[in-house]
């Protein structure tokens, strides 16, 4: 049997809402009648992780699991990194001081890979800048470091993932129907297969598009601030266009050809839904911009000297072997491991994939912290 405990808390600088809700909420999973000495905490930029798919699997294996949400669950366009990091610290402290956990494992899953990396880096070597136009987050210098780090199906960071998925052919952000056919991923004259020359031009143009949006966001923010405005929303369209989505021989793995998280890439790319589809000037600069954002894993993992394991599902349609390799290389720890396992992004397939990854994580945790049960 699995025990589930609802946990909620205020956070420094984030009191209880007028309607009564707490900014930080989650669910703590343990074996019935057992107080684990080792527990995992996992958080995402905006997706609710309180019912994470691995929670009960790890609890069944004797590992406590806190699926934790910051004040930004469901509100990615409001996200501010240093405040989210403080909220993660609330969860880590609860595990240590209330749940009686001796060792806290930071699980960086999917987009949460860079977020949990940023948390640990700030705890051991503070460097986070406040959000644009904001004071530093209260409590930012009072964080408890993690004892180990698990990277699971993790992206390199918000700027990297959106840039890698941006449609490089877009020539006008205000009219996404206007494109350059020589950079159109879905123009059969360009592939697949894609030539090395096309891929190089395409990747260069993706980076240039990110920088163009950043330059516009900076100028527009300055313009509206001069008129007494604080921010404005905008949308980034056509962001399901990574060549790896179309052709699985680019960064080879077991993923299906011509598939992304929203289905067929050519269709998803024109849907109006995707990364950055709901953002603001400040949010773009704080979260998505290659030149401005701190939501990037590699710079934080360079401060990570705790035991670490990087696990990549070999059938993932949106995280690729080179991403996992880059994360592994960025981790500064001498005690680190890199694995590929069968599975899609959520380990829904093949049958038994979730149990298998839970076994791998549990075995690795018990190798480092053998007394996992109290």
146 to each of 76, 154, 200, 206, 269, how far by Cα in Å?
24, 18, 38, 35, 38
pLDDT for res 371: 64
**What distance in Å separates the CA atoms of residue 323 and residue 164, rounded to the nearest whole number?**
11
Please tell me whether residue 107 adopts helix, strand or coil conformation.
Answer: strand
For residue range 20-31, what is the model confidence (pLDDT) as tens digits? 999 999 999 999
pLDDT for res 373: 45
**What distance in Å separates the CA atoms of residue 79 and residue 139, rounded to the nearest whole number?**
17
**For 216-219, which contacts have Cβ atoms below 8 Å and span 24 or more sequence positions?**
216/173, 217/281, 217/284, 217/285, 217/289, 218/285
Structure-token pair, residue 15 = 């009191």
Give Rg (Cα) of the chain: 21
pLDDT for res 117: 98
* Burial class (CB within 10 angstroms; exposed 0-12, middle 13-18, buried 19+) of 243: buried
Q: Quick count: other Cβ atoms within 10 Å of Cβ 371?
A: 11
pTM attached to this predicted model:
0.96
What is the total residue count of the chain? 374
pLDDT for res 272: 83
Q: Could you tell me how far CA 151 lies from the centroid of its own chain?
A: 10
Helix H or strand E encompassing 134? none
Mean pLDDT value across the chain: 96
Residue 372 has pLDDT above 70, yes or no: no
For residue range 270-326, what is the model confidence (pLDDT) as tens digits? 998 888 899 999 999 999 999 999 999 999 999 999 999 999 999 999 999 999 999
pLDDT for res 370: 86
For residue range 129-157, what is the model confidence (pLDDT) as tens digits? 999 989 999 999 999 999 999 999 999 99
For residue range 218-235, what is the model confidence (pLDDT) as tens digits? 999 999 999 999 999 999
For residue range 97-133, what is the model confidence (pLDDT) as tens digits? 999 999 999 999 999 999 999 999 999 999 999 999 8
Structure-token pair, residue 230 = 């604080």
**What distance in Å separates the CA atoms of residue 271 and residue 236, rounded to the nearest whole number?**
12
- The percent of the chain in helix, strand and coil, each rounded to the nearest 5, is 35, 15, 50
**What distance in Å separates the CA atoms of residue 359 and residue 175, rounded to the nearest whole number?**
49
**What distance in Å separates the CA atoms of residue 251 and residue 268, rounded to the nearest whole number?**
21
For the segment 161-175, the average pLDDT, to the nearest whole number, is 97
Phi, psi of 68 (to 5 degrees): -115, 145
Residue 60 has pLDDT above 50, yes or no: yes
Structure-token pair, residue 349 = 């397939």
């Amino acid at each position: 049997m699995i025990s589930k405990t609802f946990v909620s808390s205020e956070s420094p600088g984030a009191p209880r809402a007028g309607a009564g809700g707490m900014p930080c909420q989650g669910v703590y999973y343990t074996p019935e009648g057992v107080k684990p000495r080792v527990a995992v905490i996992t958080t995402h930029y905006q997706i609710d992780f309180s019912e994470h798919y691995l929670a009960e699997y790890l609890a069944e294996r004797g590992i406590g699991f806190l699926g934790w949400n910051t004040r930004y669950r469901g509100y990615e366009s409001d996200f501010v990194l240093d405040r989210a990091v403080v909220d993660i610290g609330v969860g880590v402290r609860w595990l240590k001081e209330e749940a009686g956990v001796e060792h806290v494992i930071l699980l960086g899953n999917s987009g949460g890979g860079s977020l949990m990396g940023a948390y640990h880096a700030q705890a051991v070597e503070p460097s986070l800048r406040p959000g644009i136009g904001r004071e530093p987050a209260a409590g930012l210098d009072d964080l408890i470091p993690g004892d180990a780090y698990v990277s699971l199906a993790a992206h390199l960071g918000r700027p990297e993932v959106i840039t890698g998925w941006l449609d490089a052919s877009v020539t006008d952000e205000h009219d996404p129907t206007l494109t350059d056919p020589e950079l159109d991923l879905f123009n059969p004259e360009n592939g697949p297969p894609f030539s090395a020359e096309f891929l190089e031009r395409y990747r260069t143009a993706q980076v240039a598009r990110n920088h163009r949006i950043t330059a516009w966001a900076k100028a527009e923010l300055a313009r509206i601030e001069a008129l007494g405005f604080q921010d404005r929303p905008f949308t980034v369209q056509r962001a399901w266009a990574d060549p790896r989505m179309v052709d699985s021989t680019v960064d080879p793995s077991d993923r299906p050809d011509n598939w992304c998280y929203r289905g067929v890439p050519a269709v998803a790319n024109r849907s109006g839904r995707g990364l950055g589809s709901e953002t603001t000037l400040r949010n773009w600069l704080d979260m998505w911009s290659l030149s401005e954002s701190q939501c990037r894993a590699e710079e934080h993992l360079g401060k990570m000297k705790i035991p670490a394991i990087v696990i990549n599902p070999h059938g993932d349609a949106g995280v690729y072997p080179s991403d996992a390799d880059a994360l592994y290389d960025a981790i500064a720890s001498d005690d680190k491991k890199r694995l590929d396992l069968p599975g899609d992004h959520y380990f829904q397939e093949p049958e038994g994939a979730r149990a298998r990854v839970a076994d791998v994580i549990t075995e690795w945790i018990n190798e480092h912290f053998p007394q996992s049960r109290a």
